[in-house]
């Protein structure tokens, strides 16, 4: 359940009469003023992120070291995050955004350029991530975590590891299948399955995608990007489209769970930290980003979340089993089957969203 923060909290104020009354009490006034000064010195930042997408110790350790309070708010998908920022809601300082979302955020001036001279740990990043097509030179982003989309499955019920996206259309598993509630993964992976261009806006291609997804719908338990981990653990679903780190976290509680990349290929993505334009806590936010760029901190986040990070100096701090896990760090052979999400123009975005809504409400 998303916890919504109250950004309109007001500090208590005193009228003149109340102040004079307190001034008559010699011992109360110094205490009161001390409290006010302490309140004024409090430093905070607000982080808008996926739920449970950070290390267990990351925020407590940062708060203890710096005295800066990190407030959290959560979103359940990228479109929800984008819509909220687009409406002009104030109060956020830092967000996590997936690579394909960055051009849209930049296009509407929702994120600021990041002053790289304020990040002394930026040099810890793997140079490969500094040349990303969605933000060459890391002008507006700092890579956070990266992962893949694939198929999570329960070996207790799925005896043969899934090899194709088509396995998510198998009527044998009716009611035990789920798909991510994400237009990019839903349409993108179906385009891959059908052998069509992953950035297609051809009406005939999108009609094939829609028809294929509509055929699948009676087999699904539901579309979900947030609850499928718990459902995998509990055996309520046996087969799902999912993200590698989520499935691997779930497998710690249920060893029967595993993860596979389909033979048709899939997507890899980079989630990045972005500074919200007009942030009122810029210094604190940059301090937090730089803290996350420390190798031991990046490794702690990966060890908790089972997602790879972009920090080249973090490897010695990773759990040995994680650093060798090909489901987290795919082999060169598997990487050949992976693609980044395509950058879509506005017309294509609208066409894809229309198809996705028709599938979900149809």
C-alpha to C-alpha distance for 82 and 319, rounded to whole angstroms = 34
| pLDDT range class, residue 69, cuts 50, 70, 90 | very high
Q: Are residues 216 and 318 in the same domain?
A: no
Strand (E) or helix (H) holding 214: helix 203-216
CATH number at residue 25: 3.40.190.10
Q: Are residues 134 and 273 in the same domain?
A: yes
Give the residue numbers spanning the domain of 96: 16-146+269-323
189 domain residue, yes or no: yes
On the question of pLDDT at 44 being above 90, the answer is yes
Q: Are residues 107 and 205 in the same domain?
A: no
Q: Are residues 218 and 77 in the same domain?
A: no
Total domains present in the chain: 2
Of 283, 344, 334, nearest to 45 (Cα)?
A: 283
Q: What is the pLDDT of residue 343?
A: 86
DSSP class per residue in 260-275 = E--TT-EEEEEEEEEE
Q: Across the strands, what pairs with 49? A: 74
Q: Are residues 115 and 260 in the same domain?
A: no
Q: Are residues 220 and 288 in the same domain?
A: no
Residues 71-89: tens digit of each pLDDT: 999 999 899 999 999 998 8
pLDDT, averaged across the chain: 90
C-alpha to C-alpha distance for 46 and 69, rounded to whole angstroms = 9
C-alpha to C-alpha distance for 193 and 211, rounded to whole angstroms = 13
Query: Token pair 């002009």 is at which residue?
Result: 88
For residue 275, give every residue at least 6 positions away whose Cβ sits within 8 Å of its Cβ, in sequence order, or none: 93, 94, 111, 112, 113, 114, 140, 282, 285, 286, 289
Q: What is the pLDDT of residue 342?
A: 87
- Please tell me whether residue 329 adopts helix, strand or coil conformation: coil
Q: What is the pLDDT of residue 89?
A: 83
Do 70 and 63 contact (CB within 8 A), yes or no?
A: yes
Q: Are residues 211 and 132 in the same domain?
A: no
Q: Are residues 336 and 220 in the same domain?
A: yes
C-alpha to C-alpha distance for 14 and 20, rounded to whole angstroms = 10
Q: Are residues 58 and 129 in the same domain?
A: yes
Residues 127-141: tens digit of each pLDDT: 989 888 899 999 999
Q: What angle do CA 346, 344, 215 make, to 5 degrees?
A: 100
346 domain residue, yes or no: yes
């Amino acid at each position: 359940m998303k916890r919504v923060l109250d950004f309109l909290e007001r500090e208590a104020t005193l009228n003149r009469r109340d102040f004079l009354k307190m001034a008559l009490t010699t011992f109360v006034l110094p205490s009161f003023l001390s409290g006010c000064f302490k309140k004024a010195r409090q430093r905070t930042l607000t982080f808008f992120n996926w739920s449970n997408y950070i290390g267990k110790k990351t925020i407590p350790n940062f708060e203890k070291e710096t005295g800066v309070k990190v407030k959290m708010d959560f979103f359940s998908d990228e479109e929800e995050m984008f819509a909220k920022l687009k409406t002009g809601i104030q109060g956020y300082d830092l967000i996590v955004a997936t690579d394909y979302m960055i051009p849209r955020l930049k296009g509407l001036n929702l994120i600021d350029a990041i002053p790289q001279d304020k990040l002394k740990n930026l040099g810890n990043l793997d140079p490969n991530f500094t040349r990303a097509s969605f933000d060459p030179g890391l002008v507006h982003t700092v890579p956070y975590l990266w992962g893949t989309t694939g198929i999570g499955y329960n070996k207790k019920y799925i005896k043969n590891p899934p090899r194709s996206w088509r396995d998510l259309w198998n009527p044998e598993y009716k009611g035990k299948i789920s798909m991510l509630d994400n237009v990019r993964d839903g349409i993108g992976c179906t385009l891959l399955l059908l052998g069509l261009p992953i950035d297609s806006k051809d009406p005939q291609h999108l009609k094939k995608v829609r028809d294929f997804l509509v055929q699948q719908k009676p087999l699904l338990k539901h579309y979900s990007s947030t609850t499928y981990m718990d459902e995998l653990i509990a055996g309520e679903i046996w087969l799902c489209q999912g993200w590698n780190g989520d499935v691997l976290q779930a497998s710690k509680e249920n060893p029967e769970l595993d993860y596979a990349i389909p033979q048709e290929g899939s997507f890899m993505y980079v989630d990045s930290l972005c500074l919200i334009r007009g942030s009122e806590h810029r210094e604190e936010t940059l301090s937090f980003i730089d803290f996350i760029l420390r190798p031991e901190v990046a490794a702690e986040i990966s060890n908790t979340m089972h997602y790879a990070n972009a920090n080249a100096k973090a490897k010695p701090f990773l759990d040995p089993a994680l650093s060798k896990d090909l489901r987290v760090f795919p082999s060169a052979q598997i990487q050949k089957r992976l693609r980044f999400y395509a950058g879509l123009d506005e017309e294509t975005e609208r066409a894809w969203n229309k198809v996705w809504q028709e599938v979900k409400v149809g």
